[in-house]
Amino acid sequence: MTENLTHRQKMLTLAGILLAMFLGALDQTIVSTALPRIVADLHGLDRFTWVATAYLVASTALVPIYGKLADMYSRRTIEIVAVSIFLVGSGLCGLAGEFGSLPVLGDGMTQLVVFRAIQGFGGAGLFAMAFIIIADLFAPAERGRYQGFTGAVFGTSSVLGPLLGGFLTDKGTGLIPGVAGWRLVFYVNLPLGLVALWFIMTQMPPLRPRTAPKPFDYLSAALLMAGLGPLVIALQLNRTVYPWTAPLTLGMLAWAVVALGLFVVRSLRHENPILNFGLFRNKVFRSANAALFLMGGAFLGIIIFEPLFMVNVLGESATRAGASLIPLSLGVVSGSLLAGQMVSRFGHYKRWMLSGISVLLLGLTLLATMPPTVQYHQVLLYLAICGLGLGPTMPLYTLAVQNATAPELMGQATSASQFFRQIGGAIAASALGAVLTFTLTHSLPAAAQAPATRPPVAAADGPLPSAAATASASPAVRAAFSKAISRVYVFNIFLVVGGFVLTLFVPELPLRKSNEGPPAP
C-alpha cells in the first residue's frame, strides 16, 4: 500500500497526523485551565462538569467507529473528516454565548457543552487515525521508533496545555479586539489545524483499503453509541449527588448493558460488523488489550489524584499542583521515545513492556508510601519515575496488536486498543474516586467531614480546592487526605500488577518487515 512512497513523503505525512493528534491531546489539558473563567463569563457553574464529560463521551464512543471506517475507505479521507469536524467544533466552542441565548441550543454554557461534543466527535478520529496511519506508513520492524513519537506528543501537550491555557485565559483578552482570553483557548486550534490539514491533503497518500468495502452497519454504530454514552456518563456522575444506588445511576448502567449486549449480538450476526469479534480469538489482541485496560486506569489514577495530594496534604497552590505533573509528562516522553527506538533496533517488545511496568511499580510504591511531610521535590522525582514506566505502554501494546493482526483488520484492531485504554481509565477513575471518598469518610474528624468530603468528588468532576482553603487545614485533615490518597495508590498498584501478569501472557511474535501478507505466525 505504501511501498512506493519516498521517505520524505512518509515523514511529511507523519508530521501532519502528529500535529493533528497534538491538537486533540492539547485540547484535553488546555481547556481545564480556562474553566473557572468560562464558568464566570457564561454563568454555568451548575453545568461546568459537562464541558469535559461531553467531550469524553463523544470521543470514547466514536473511536471504534473510526477504526471501522478506516478499514472501509481511504485513510486520508477519514483523517480529513476528523480534523475538519474537530476544527468546526473548536470554532463553535469559541463562539459559545457570543450571541446570547439561541433557539434549541439555549444559553452560552449549554451551547459550549453541545459544541464540545462536536469537538469530541472529531477528536476521536485524531487519536485513532494517528496509530492506524503510522501502521500503514511503516512496517512493524521499524514502526516502534515512529509510534514512540505519539507518546512524546501526549507528554508535550500535557506540559504545554495548562501553561498555554493559563496564559491565554489571563493575558489573552485584547489580543483580538473584543474577544475574551478564554475563547482563544479554542481558537488556537484553528491555525494549527489548518496547517495539519494542508500536510494531510497535499502530502498524505490516499491509503485506500485492501478489499472492496461492504455496506456500513449503521444499526451497530447506533447501538454502540447508545451504550457507551450512558456508561461513560454514569461513571462520571458526582457520587455525592448520584451514588451508585441512585435510580439515575442504576438506570443508565442498565441501559448501557442492554444496548451493548444488543451491539454484541448484532456484531456476531452481521457480515460487516463495527468490531470483528473474531479478533478476540487472537491471543495477542486479547491479552494486550486487557493489559491496556488496566494500564489506562493506572495512568489516569496518577493524573487525577496527585494534584489532590499536593493541594490537600502539602498545601500547594493549584498552579504548583498542576506544574507537579510536568516531570510525569517528561518521563512519559523519554520512556516512549527510548522504548520505541530500542524495539526498532533490537526487537523484543515484550521485555520493554515488562521493564516499563516494573519501573512504574517502583514509582507507585514510592507514591503510596509518602508521609504527609514529604517534600515537594521528592514527589516530582517519584512522578518522573512513574512517567518513565508509563512511556513504553503508550506505543508498544498497540505495536504488538498491529503486528499480530491481518492488514485488512488493522483499523479495527488499532482503534480497539485506544478504546480499551480510554474506557479503562474512565472506569478506574470512578472506582478510585470511590476508594478515596470511602477512606475519607472514615478518617476525617467529624467536624471536618462536611466541607472536606467535597474535594474527592472535585478531583474527578471539577477544579481543585484553593490553596487558601487547605493551607489552614489541621494536621488531622492533612493526615486523612494522605491516608486516603495512599490507599488509592495501593489500589493503583494492584491495577499495574494485573497489567504485568497479563503482559506475561502476550505472545512475542517476530516483528514483520513488511505490511503485506498475513500476520506473523
Q: Where are the domains of the chain?
A: 1-206, 217-271, 279-521
CATH of domain 279-521: 1.20.1250.20
Would 1-206 and 279-521 be classified into the same CATH topology? yes
What's the half-sphere exposure (Cβ side, CA atoms, 13 Å) at 61? 29
CA distance 194 to 185: 16
Chain centroid to CA 420 = 10
The letter for the amino acid at 163 is: L
Per-residue pLDDT band for 519 (boundaries 50, 70, 90) equals low
What does the block give as the cell for 62?
466514536
Using DSSP's 3-state secondary structure scheme, residue 103 falls into: coil
What does the block give as the cell for 130?
494517528
CA distance 341 to 349: 11
CA distance 425 to 413: 19
DSSP state of 466: P
Q: How many CB atoms lie within 10 A of CB 195?
A: 15
- Residues 423-436: tens digit of each pLDDT: 888 888 888 888 88
Nearest to 217 by CA among 442, 378, 10, 64: 64
For domain 1-206, give the fold. Answer: Growth Hormone; Chain: A; (1.20.1250)
- Residues 331-359: tens digit of each pLDDT: 988 888 888 888 888 878 899 999 999 99
| The pLDDT of residue 52 is above 70 | yes
Taking CA atoms, 187 is separated from 96, 121, 260, 437, in Å, by 12, 18, 36, 37
Q: Which residue has the cell 512511556?
A: 391
- Residues 134-174: tens digit of each pLDDT: 888 888 888 888 887 887 787 788 778 877 887 888 788 77
- For 173, phi and psi rounded to 5 degrees? -60, 125
- Residues 165-175: tens digit of each pLDDT: 878 887 887 77
Nearest to 238 by CA among 46, 477, 110, 482: 46
Chain centroid to CA 377 = 27
What's the half-sphere exposure (Cβ side, CA atoms, 13 Å) at 260? 13
- Residues 443-496: tens digit of each pLDDT: 765 445 543 333 333 333 333 444 444 444 578 888 888 888 999 999 999 999
Mean pLDDT of 402-427: 88
Mean pLDDT of 24-49: 80
The letter for the amino acid at 333 is: V
Angle at 25 between CA 136 and CA 497, to 5 degrees: 85
Per-residue pLDDT band for 299 (boundaries 50, 70, 90) equals confident
Mean pLDDT of the chain: 84
Nearest to 155 by CA among 384, 415, 474: 384
Using DSSP's 3-state secondary structure scheme, residue 173 falls into: strand
pLDDT of residue 445: 58
What does the block give as the cell for 4?
512506493
pLDDT of residue 152: 78
What does the block give as the cell for 476?
488531622
